[in-house]
Homo-oligomer: A and B are copies of this chain.
Amino acid sequence: MIKVGILGAAGYTGGELIRLLVNHPEVEIVFANSESNAGNPISDVHEGLIGDCDLKFTDELPFDKVDVVFFCFGHGKSEAFLKEHNIPESVKIIDLAQDFRIKGDHDYVYGLPEIHKSDIQKCNHLANPGCFATAIQLGLLPLAKAGLLTNDINVSAITGSTGAGQKPGATTHFSWRTDNLSIYKTFTHQHLHEITQSLNELRPSDTPKVIDTLNEGYDAEGITVDFVPFRGNFSRGIFCTEVVKINDTTTDVEALYKDFYKDAAFTHYVDKNLDLKQVVNTNKCLIHVERFGKKLVITSIIDNLLKGAVGQAVQNMNLMFGINETMGLKLKANAF
């Protein structure tokens, strides 16, 4: 049994992680840390756990009793936490925040199994990808690797409200959000960092660099990912379209995608139009491509809390501990 500790266990990702792990046949949850909820039953805070879990939140941190800890903090808190606490070297870390997603002076592996499976299997420290970042990358990586990304890329991605977390606010107020749509962080969403990192990692060296416009601005040389994030009026899921112009009319794009994902456990190419509920409450990413002359319209969809967060984190945990990648992740889709 893999002994698990969870930090930030009272938030949305913490709760979804617990909902997954209580049914994972190889996992024992040792502690679920939340200072503000210490002593309270987990099922008091997290929907859907009544009858499934008698565990209570704790304010303790018994790192010596676990094999792995999940960081379900808000962004920026993981690094701060590590400076203040000693986690034994024997304990693996899976960080759901963005603190270590960009390569630098650390040993965290970027946990997108579709491209880094062998590194993930060997690592002790893992940075779990962002939700938008997962959906957008999975839509574009096969083209990057094939050297087909030679023009600016237009991305629209619509997220459910759970992406905004548990704290109530104006844009997650039901009265405002229901039946509503809006855009935010136009062309400036922080996931552009990790998206451009992966695209550049996979592209052949003779293709244009993908500019991280957040760091380099819009006048740098290369191509850009022009990403418009939308707030959707639903709770779960991300629906992305990526529109790309390729300077090539010969490639069998469908075959390219199928080949790229032939070993992926949860990412599938589908040969017809998608709808979001095909993936809601699953760890899947589904992808479809339509072609019009030199233009491709790629659709990629995920559940933002699962493949976009804790489902992928558990998939990574499975890989890090050498067990079947899909264990605990054979979920019944919500469907309706």
Contacts and interface: CB of A to CB of B under 8 A. Distances in A.
A241 to B, nearest CB: 6
A189 interface: no
A218 B182 contact: no
A278 B186 contact: no
A321 interface: no
A52 B232 CA distance: 27
B333 A49 contact: yes
Most buried by B among A16, A52, A305: A52
Contact of A277 (B16, B47, B52, B292): B47
Contacts of A23: 330-332
A175 to B, nearest CB: 5
Judged by DSSP, the binding face of A is: loop
A177 B219 CA distance: 42
Query: How many chain copies?
Result: 4
Interface string A39-82: 00000001111111000000000000000000000000000000
Given A182-B274, A235-B336, A51 B284 contact: yes
A175 B273 contact: no
Interface residues of A, number: 88
Contacts of A19: 332-333, 335
Nearest to A276: B181
A127 interface: no
Contacts of A169: 168
Contact of A182 (B154, B219, B273): B273
Interface in A160-194: 160-162, 164, 166, 168-170, 172-184, 186-187
Given A161-B174, A173-B168, A16 B335 contact: yes
A293 interface: yes
A20 interface: yes
Contacts of A92: none
A320 to B, nearest CB: 21
User: Lowest 7 A-B CB distances belong to which pairs?
Assistant: A48-B333, A218-B293, A168-B168, A182-B275, A235-B336, A47-B335, A179-B234
Given A168-B170, A236-B334, 9 more contacts: A12-B336, A47-B277, A48-B335, A168-B173, A179-B179, A182-B276, A187-B295, A281-B281, A331-B332
30 contacts: A15-B335, A19-B332, A19-B335, A47-B275, A47-B277, A47-B335, A48-B333, A49-B333, A154-B243, A158-B158, A161-B174, A174-B177, A176-B275, A179-B234, A179-B235, A180-B277, A181-B232, A181-B237, A183-B273, A186-B297, A187-B290, A187-B295, A187-B297, A218-B293, A226-B292, A226-B297, A233-B234, A235-B336, A280-B334, A305-B336
